[in-house]
Structure 1
Amino acid sequence: MPEIRTERMINAPPAVVWAVLTDFSSYPAWNPHLVKVTSEDDLRVGSKLKLDIRREGVKDRSMTVTVTELIPGRKLEWVGTLVSPLVFTGRHTFELEPFAGDRTRFLNYETSRGVLDSLVTTADPERDYESMNEALKWHAETATAAPA
């Protein structure tokens, strides 16, 4: 079961990082990897999200996922399947950990399996996740620095 695992220290409190992470309507303005996320209902366990995914060196694609775990301010996880779990299943997790005052350790990772796993992921999938992490860091830190 392949795993992509990245993390980033963000100089903003978890509440700010969470607000940016879960404001899906703003993704087109800042997120280079998940360029659009839409939902027909509130974010909750069982919600369906449609993801428009941009990956370097691979054709953009869309995927519908189901939120499987939600701990506000701490963790968001979803699972997506292509055709059937035997073909491809990806479990994507975002975790926020408070760190030294008003900083946040942001973890962005995914485990996947299935016969098409090598075709769905890129040769360097960490690059796509890191680009999102860096953009989230910049966006959250900018929001923290903005005057109230």
Structure 2
Amino acid sequence: MKEIRTQIIINANVNKVWAILTDFDAYPNWNPFIKYFKGIPREGNRIEVKMVPPNSKGMIFKPTILKFVPNKELRWLGHTFISGLFDGEHIFELIYNNDGTTTFIQREKFYGILVPLLKNSLDNTKAGFDEMNKKIKEISETNL
């Protein structure tokens, strides 16, 4: 298993950050990493997501929503080709800080027999997380 984890402090309340994160129709307008998100984010539902890390053509995944807890967590599990080859559990977590800020955590756990072979290419994925984190922070802190 390999995990990528990023986080950023956003000077906005958790409700505002969650509203931006879950306005999936707006992703093409602002999100540099997840170009689109199609489907209803309800536990058990399959969605379609296009992720484009920097210096990459990107990939389309059809993961299953594992968890959708408003203002707290969105989690899905996707597979590349066959389950067990290269699986990714993508997690967004929002933590309300008592000072009015939100800690936005984005991480992914990678599993499967191809993980050791693809480990070096995951640096682009981390860069994509960082770009998205900076952009959601910028948007959330606008017009407070």
TM over 0.5: yes
> Segments of 4+ in structure 1 off by > 3 A?
118-121
Picking from 46, 49, 52, the partner of 1:48 is 46
Counterpart-to-counterpart distance in 2, 1:99 and 1:24: 25
Residues 120 and 63 of structure 1: is their aligned pair in 2 closer, same or farther, counting only changes over 3 Å?
Answer: farther
Gaps of 5+ in 1: none
More strand as a share of residues: 1
Matched to 2:114, the amino acid is L
Q: 2:77 and 2:103 mapped to 1: Cα distance?
A: 22
Counterparts of 2:88 and 2:24, CA distance in 1: 20
Q: Using the alignment, how far apart are the partners of 2:120 and 2:99 within structure 1?
A: 36
Task: Report the identity percentage.
Answer: 32
Q: Distance in 1 between matches of 2:95 and 2:122?
A: 29
Q: RMSD of the TM alignment (CA)?
A: 1.6
Q: Trace 1:61-140 onto structure 2 (pairs within 5 A).
A: 61-117=59-115, 118-119=117-118, 122-124=121-123, 125-140=125-140
1:129–1:28: structure 2 CA closer, same or farther, 3 Å change rule? same
Decide whether aligned partners of structure 1 residues 82 and 121 sit closer, same or farther in structure 2, where only a CA change above 3 A counts. farther
Provide the TM-score with structure 2 as the length reference.
0.91
Whether the 8 Å contact between 1:68 and 1:77 is mirrored in structure 2 is: yes
Following superposition, the deviation at residue 121 of structure 1 comes to: 7.0
How many residue pairs match? The answer is 142
Q: Which moved more, 1:114-123 or 1:47-56?
A: 114-123
Aligned equivalents of 2:61, 2:119: Cα separation in 1: 11
Structure 2: runs of 5 or more not aligned: none
State the TM-score, normalized to the length of structure 1: 0.89
Deviations 1:33-83 (A, max 9, x none): 0011111xx321012111111111222211111110111110110000112
Matched, 1:9 2:9: yes
